[in-house]
Amino acid sequence: MDSVEPFWLVDAFAEAPFEGNCAGVCVLRKGRDASWMQHVANELNQAETAFLRPRRDKQWNLRWFTPTVEVDLCGHATLAAAHVLSVAGHVPWGEEIVFHTLSGKHKAWSEKKGATLDFPAEPPRSYRLPNAETLVHAKPTWIGKNRLDVLIQLESEDAVRRMDPDLPEIAKLDARGLIVTAKSSDPTIDFVSRYFAPACGVDEDQVTGSAHCALAPFWGERLGRTELHGYQASRRGGLVKMRLEGPRVFLRGGVVVVATGKLQT
């Protein structure tokens, strides 16, 4: 059937199935409009679904959709997409992959147990948010914002793990979502974080690669490090390895394919 499109469900920033953040990935055989992609993303009901379409220059167009909206940057679905391109035989393992997206051109390299992303650094700047303490039911030690998200630092890892977010108020922020972070109590991890994007249909994301475009420069400056390990302390949880190189952040994580199928539409 000409209308059949293959799809994958992939756990990204994961070392084993059912960890990290699950993404849908569709490698399109023909052009599809945004309405169709949004319906599919809603049907697959993952935090994001990535839609790939090959270009004549051997590069790839890439779009990301939550169940309710299109977004202009998504790390875990890009990690999953890079891995799928090699699993499906479109790109050799280890070869550079160039994606064209709403947020510009990004690169990735797939490996048999993971992938690496080359994303822009998005450092937050100090930001005034009078209701910050109400949003997280905890006392912030620093508040910032970049073009995507608000970032709130708390005093401890325990405070991040215990915090009870006010999702209706977070949805009103002039931002894609809210990052909450603190220094890790584990000596093998630099910091922990959680991420909330109720306005995008994702109350709490499991592992948010693009949030680490802010977290890497934020913690890199405070810790004096260019290589960092961050743990997103969600229900599933996931480890993100980062390397800062000037205006770019390299994000690495494990990838596990958990299901494949065909869209009969």
Q: What is the pLDDT of residues 12-68, one digit of tens each?
A: 999 999 999 999 999 999 899 999 999 999 999 999 999 999 999 999 999 999 999
Sign, CA dihedral 183-149-84-91, equals negative
Assigned token pair, 38? 């949004």
Phi then psi for residue 159, to 5 deg, are: -65, -40
Can you give the pLDDT at residue 4? Answer: 85
Can you give the pLDDT at residue 116? Answer: 97
Can you give the pLDDT at residue 1? Answer: 45
Task: Taking residues 99-128, report their average pLDDT.
Answer: 96
Q: Model confidence at 265, in pLDDT bands (50, 70, 90)?
A: confident
87 pLDDT above the threshold of 90: yes
Assigned token pair, 97? 């992959």
Phi then psi for residue 122, to 5 deg, are: -130, 65
Is residue 209 within 8 Å of residue 11, measured between CB atoms?
A: no
Is residue 172 within 8 Å of residue 166, measured between CB atoms?
A: no
135 pLDDT above the threshold of 60: yes
Q: Are strands 177-183 and 149-153 parallel, antiparallel or unpaired?
A: parallel
Residues carrying an active site annotation:
48
pLDDT digits (tens, 9 = 90+) for 155-187: 999 999 999 999 999 999 999 999 999 999 999
Task: Say how far apart CA 58 and CA 224 lie, in whole Å.
Answer: 39
pTM greater than 0.85 (yes/no) = yes
Can you give the pLDDT at residue 152? Answer: 98
Task: Say how far apart CA 216 and CA 229 lie, in whole Å.
Answer: 9
Q: In this prediction, what percent of the chain has a pLDDT beyond 90? A: 96
Can you tell me which residue has the tokens 């596990």?
Answer: 256
Task: Taking residues 145-154, report their average pLDDT.
Answer: 97
218 pLDDT above the threshold of 70: yes
Task: Taking residues 213-221, report their average pLDDT.
Answer: 98
Mean pLDDT over each residue of the chain, to the nearest integer = 96
Phi then psi for residue 233, to 5 deg, are: -90, 55
Q: Model confidence at 5, in pLDDT bands (50, 70, 90)?
A: very high
Which is nearest to 218 in space by CA: 194, 190, 189? 190
Which is nearest to 210 in space by CA: 6, 27, 66, 55? 66
The single-letter code of the amino acid at 207 is V
Task: State whether residue 13 is helix, strand or coil.
Answer: coil
Which is nearest to 58 in space by CA: 115, 98, 106? 98
Which is nearest to 220 in space by CA: 259, 181, 169? 181
Strand ranges in 35-185 using DSSP code E only, listed in sequence order: 48-54, 60-65, 70-71, 96-101, 104-111, 114-120, 125-126, 142-145, 149-153, 177-183
137 pLDDT above the threshold of 60: yes
